[in-house]
Amino acid sequence: MISQADVFVNNCLLDMYVKCGCIEFVGKLFDHMPVKTVASWTSMISCYCHNGLADEGITTFIQILENERRNEFTLAAALQIVSENCNSEFICILHSYITKGVERESRIRGE
């Protein structure tokens, strides 16, 4: 079983490789991480976006919608993709995600 410390170290390594622009290492590390958190997925989306790989960022965002919980940082990373790549299909997916999230939050709050 992997410890929380190992997950934290893996995410720190991922962040370091992203900041160094070592895209090849980022992908290899991410693929071999036994536990991927929302921070791991969001780092990958940002990494792809900042390195001109918007299509890979879109693919990663779609995967996170299917496999992992998201947060506001994930959404911010996805919005970065829209600024880099005006993919109308992705914009529709993102709009749907945002709309459903806002609708769900309103129901939870009783608004």
Low-confidence ranges of the chain (pLDDT < 50): 105-106, 108-109
- Which CATH number describes the domain made up of 4-109? 1.25.40
The pLDDT score that the predictor gives to residue 106 is 47
Ranges of H-type helices in the chain: 4-20, 23-32, 38-50, 54-67, 72-84, 88-109
Q: Are 74 and 38 in contact (CB under 8 A)?
A: yes
The pLDDT score that the predictor gives to residue 28 is 92
Using alpha carbons, select from 74, 2, 53 the residue that is nearest to residue 32.
Answer: 2
The pLDDT score that the predictor gives to residue 110 is 55
The pLDDT score that the predictor gives to residue 13 is 92
The pLDDT score that the predictor gives to residue 91 is 86
Provide the terminal-to-terminal Cα distance of the chain, rounded to the nearest Å: 42
Report how far residue 16's alpha carbon sits from residue 3's, in angstroms, rounded to the nearest whole number: 20
